[in-house]
Amino acid sequence: MTTRRDFMATAALGAASLALAPRPLRAAPAGAKPPMRFVFLHKGNGLFPSVMVPPSLSKDEAATEAKKGALDLDLARHELPAWMKPLAAHQSDLTILQGLSGKMCTTGHHTWCSSLGVFKANERISSIKWATVDFELAKLFPSPMEHVELACLPLGGGNARGTLNGIATGFSARGPQQPNYAFGSPKVAVQELFKSVSTDKGVQAQSQLGRTALEFAARREGKLAETAPGTERGKVQSYADSLEAVRERDRKVDAMADAIRPHVPKLDAKYLADEMTTVDRQRGHVEVLLAALISGLTNVVAFTVDELGHEYTGLAGIETEKVNLHDVGNGKPVGKLTADEVRFAVRRQHMTLVDTIAARLKKVPEGDGTVFDNTMIFYFPDNGETHHSHGTEYPFVVLSGKNARLDIRGRYIRLPNYGEQGHKTLGNWYTTLLNAHGNPVKHYGDLDPGLGRFGIDQTGAIKPFLA
């Protein structure tokens, strides 16, 4: 029997979307101020701070780096780490950001929505304190679907288990005790996001049936809320409001259907298969991600490029191997590659995805520039600095368009080390993003009790970053 909760989980993903054309589009109407767009790509198994360092530092700079002292360097004068070479064409837009801590987050193997929400989290819905930062940014730049989440889901451990191709609990949160849901495969994402603009009669009928069911359920829940006991009224009204929000998204998409339909993406068959390599799954998700952004379906995308419980396939140099990231995290080699070489291959593959996103967005005209001018892309580890992380560092790779409201482009930045005056946390970083783009929140996220003994003010934005 389908419960109300089961129905909500499925229905919330039933709204249709817009798509990426194979030819350039003008993403925003002429004369309209374009929205900012944000792409969060996060990886499992940690990200060593040591691999972020440009190999061309001077002797003095290298000495400061070794002590984790503060640095602010012009990237134009430095060589990128080898695994970042796919981003060479974007070096003027690139920021390598080191030194942020996140000890107030869940660390270790699995962190759930912790690193995006800056609080302790686990598998229990009750642990979700508030909306993750990607959803907070989505509120600042409204869109028909608000937010789209994609994931290479794990088969063991982490947020969702036992599914690669379905729709499962994601790594973002819409609000307190409200986990988001992620598409596990490009095929599922295309089917769900584009079904209301499909020319297939069977798909049209299925879509209409779903909308009728939503309308019926929304009315039913609304009536139940009117008569429910006080202790249940708020819960039932929340279900009714959520259903109505889905219907409102459908109406917005319907109003744009004629403009959407010609641009439904035609993905390569390998991205629509039930069986595919991890590398192809990632590339297919990137196509969906680009579709969502360029067409205006959403202005915010979260993409879990891998998770500790996901078995990698298709990696360069070990294409025929199944890579267990947990084993790699514990130093085990795979085929002819050492654990560090596997990590390198994983990171480099991720950078090809970032390059694809940035390069494509730079080709789409918008206003007096391109869509990329109004975009920020973030790549970071969901569990901190290493496999068994402690949250002392969360390295970030950031690409920013010229209209991003932060003054960080083209720099290697190492913030003061944990416990030193001037040290900053994930909470400070996300507060900076929110403040810069219109949310005046005093501080986003939990504080780190351990920093209290150093007399460090943890609240507020990182002021030198504000443009």
Report the chain's mean pLDDT, rounded to a whole number: 85
Domains in the chain, number: 1
Which residue has better confidence, 219 or 38? 38
Helix (H, G, I), strand (E, B) or coil at 240: helix
**Closest to 153 in 3D by CA, of 114, 186, 198:** 186
Q: What's the pLDDT tens digit per position in 168-201?
A: 888 999 999 999 989 999 998 888 876 666 556 5
Q: What's the pLDDT tens digit per position in 11-53?
A: 333 333 322 333 334 455 556 789 999 999 999 999 999 999 9
17, 193 contact by CB (below 8 A) = yes
User: 343 Cβ partners below 8 Å, 6+ apart?
Assistant: 45, 48, 51, 328
- Mean pLDDT across the stretch 230-259? 62
Task: Give the pLDDT band (50/70/90) at residue 265.
Answer: low
User: How many Å apart are CA 461 and CA 427, to the nearest integer?
Assistant: 8
Q: What percent of the chain has pLDDT over 90?
A: 64
On whether residue 201 sits in a domain, the answer given is no
Residue 123's pLDDT is what?
85
Q: What's the pLDDT tens digit per position in 396-420?
A: 999 999 999 999 999 999 999 999 9
On whether residue 102 sits in a domain, the answer given is yes
**Closest to 397 in 3D by CA, of 90, 57, 191, 94:** 94
Residue 26's pLDDT is what?
45
Which residue has better confidence, 393 or 11? 393
Residue 249's pLDDT is what?
65
Pairing between strand 375-381 and 37-43? parallel
Residue 330's pLDDT is what?
93
On whether residue 227 sits in a domain, the answer given is no
72, 54 contact by CB (below 8 A) = no
- Mean pLDDT across the stretch 87-113? 95
Helix (H, G, I), strand (E, B) or coil at 74: strand
3-state DSSP percent of the chain in helix, strand and coil, to 5: 40, 15, 45
- Mean pLDDT across the stretch 353-368? 96
Position 181, amino acid = Y
305, 41 contact by CB (below 8 A) = yes
Long-range contact pairs involving 358-362 (C-beta distance under 8 Å, separation at least 24): 358/87, 358/90, 358/93, 358/399, 359/89, 359/90, 360/290, 360/294, 361/290, 361/293, 361/294, 361/401
User: 398 Cβ partners below 8 Å, 6+ apart?
Assistant: 94, 95, 96, 97, 376, 377, 378, 379, 408
Q: Which CATH number characterizes residue 48's domain?
A: 3.40.720
On whether residue 395 sits in a domain, the answer given is yes
On whether residue 254 sits in a domain, the answer given is no
- Mean pLDDT across the stretch 58-76? 98
Say yes or no to pLDDT of 143 above 80. yes
Residue 32's pLDDT is what?
72
User: How many Å apart are CA 223 and CA 148, to the nearest integer?
Assistant: 30
On whether residue 358 sits in a domain, the answer given is yes
User: Which run of H or E residues covers position 151?
Assistant: strand 148-151
HEC profile for 187-223?
HHHHHHHHHHHCCCHHHHHHHHHHHHHHHHHHHHHHH
pTM for the whole structure: 0.87
Say yes or no to pLDDT of 224 above 90. no
Residue 8's pLDDT is what?
37
Residue 132's pLDDT is what?
98
Q: Among 97-106, 219-228, 270-279, 316-325, whose mean pLDDT is lowest?
A: 219-228
On whether residue 20 sits in a domain, the answer given is yes
Rounded to the nearest angstrom, the gap between the alpha carbon of residue 126 and the centroid of all alpha carbons in its chain is 22
Which residue has better confidence, 90 or 6? 90
Structural domain of residue 438, as residue ranges? 4-194+269-465
Q: What's the pLDDT tens digit per position in 144-174?
A: 889 999 999 887 665 555 578 888 888 999 9
User: How many Å apart are CA 311 and CA 278, to the nearest integer?
Assistant: 8
User: How many Å apart are CA 153 and CA 166, to the nearest integer?
Assistant: 9
**Closest to 354 in 3D by CA, of 86, 75, 172, 81:** 86
Residue 29's pLDDT is what?
56
Residue 109's pLDDT is what?
86
Residue 256's pLDDT is what?
60
- What are the angstrom distances between the C-alpha of 301 and each of 40, 133, 146, 448, 459? 6, 11, 9, 28, 27
Encoding tokens for residue 212? 């009728």
Q: What angle do CA 410, 385, 317 make, to 5 degrees?
A: 80
**Closest to 186 in 3D by CA, of 271, 277, 310:** 271
- Mean pLDDT across the stretch 126-145? 95
Task: Give the pLDDT band (50/70/90) at residue 2.
Answer: very low
On whether residue 86 sits in a domain, the answer given is yes
Which residue has better confidence, 208 or 324? 324
User: How many Å apart are CA 467 and CA 300, to the nearest integer?
Assistant: 21
117, 129 contact by CB (below 8 A) = yes
